[in-house]
Amino acid sequence: MKSFLLLILFAFVMHISFAQTSSKIDRSKYFKLEKASENSNNFRTELYSDIDTTWANWQFRGYNFGFDPKLTPIYTTVNGILSTPYMIQVRGNEIERNRKRWGFHVFEGYAKDDKSRITLLLNKHVENDKPVAELYYYGTEYNHSELAYNWFRIGSDVRQHSFLFSRDKAIFYGSLKLSNTLTLGNIGKEDLREEEPKGDAEVNFEESAKYVNHKALKESENGTMFYDKDNNIVVIKVNGEWMKLVVEKLPENIKYDF
């Protein structure tokens, strides 16, 4: 009986201590009701987390990579399925670094290993005079090599169906119908490199692309075609051998105005 009373007393003291500690926390700092406007009686909610470099998860690459824990708040977690009849929106900032990973990532979805992920990012690159949105399935190599990128299937979840995409290759299991032109790769000696360049492919992207061209032609299957710009011919691989595709001028009665 005496032990039971001591246990009750200990629990009571702990409860009082916790209540006193909790009362010192300014909860309005983390959960706020903000007026919709100065003259409005309607409200919106905001959630906040502290900046804390001692947070345990900062030691893991999947959390710290591309962030500065001295500037980025610790993650806010919802322990349940997040459902809304409205849209989910990621807004832009004047300074994106330490808000989005590396300042570019707007979505990440992790696989079972909690390391590989699908990633959507914006404006990391500008190509052909336009900003680029990029979507890929990143593995665990943690670099920019071909091996680092898994397949991303679009169209279904059925094996050997739909359309697969990776860093330097796409496989179309389905038919392809174009409503515009099809341009073959214009490849010449200046676009090829036999040896893979040293260093990161993102840094050496131009030379890396030349190596990718050479590798694709070296490992190509029958039916592969490209435009040999050095000799102005279209070539195709037939029975393991490159052959010139025979073409001829248009008939005199056929003319285009382009």
pLDDT, tens only, 56-84: 999 999 999 999 999 999 999 999 999 99
pLDDT tens readout for residues 39-55 = 999 999 999 999 999 99
**Same domain, residue pair 164 and 183:** no
Which residue in 220, 228, 221 sits closest to 245, CA to CA?
228
DSSP string over 25-60: S-GGGTEEEEESSTT-S-EEEEE-----TT-GGGGS
User: Once rounded to an integer, what is the mean pLDDT over residues 184-188?
Assistant: 98
Q: What is the mean pLDDT of the chain?
A: 92
Q: Which domain holds residue 124?
A: 103-176
Predicted confidence (pLDDT) at residue 111 exceeds the cutoff of 80: yes
CB contact at 8 A, 140 and 153: no
* Token couple for 86: 């409205």
Q: Residue 29: what are its φ and ψ, rounded to 5°?
A: -70, -25
**Same domain for 131 and 162?**
yes
C-alpha closest to that of 90 among 101, 81, 80: 101
- Residue 130: phi and psi, rounded to 5, are -135, 145
Which one-letter amino acid corresponds to residue 228? D
**Strand 117-127, strand 130-138: pairing:** antiparallel
Q: Count how many Cα atoms sit within 13 Å of the Cα of residue 168 in the half-sphere of its side chain.
A: 18
163-165 sheet: strands from edge to edge: 152-154, 163-165, 170-172
Phi-psi region of 71 (alpha: psi -120 to 50; beta: other; left: phi over 0): alpha
Same domain, 166 and 183: no
**Total of domains in the chain:** 3
Same domain, 80 and 129: no
Residues 194 and 162 in one domain: no
Is 39 found in the same domain as 64? yes
Name every residue whose Cβ is closer than 8 Å to that of residue 133 and which is 6 or more positions away in sequence: 120, 121, 122, 123
Judgement on whether residues 183 and 162 belong to the same structural domain of the protein? no
170 lies in the same domain as 193: no
Phi, psi of 20 (to 5 degrees): -65, -40
Residues 161 and 186 in one domain: no
Model confidence band, residue 23 (pLDDT cutoffs 50, 70, 90): low
What are 122-181's pLDDT values in tens digits?
A: 999 999 999 999 999 999 999 999 999 999 999 999 999 999 999 999 999 999 999 999
pTM of the model: 0.85
Interval 212-247: pLDDT, tens: 999 999 999 999 999 999 999 999 999 999 999 999
Whether residues 253 and 185 fall in one domain: yes
Contact yes or no for 234/228 (Cβ under 8 A): yes
Q: Minimal CA–CA distance to 56: which of 66, 64, 68, 45?
A: 64
- Does residue 10 lie in a domain region? no
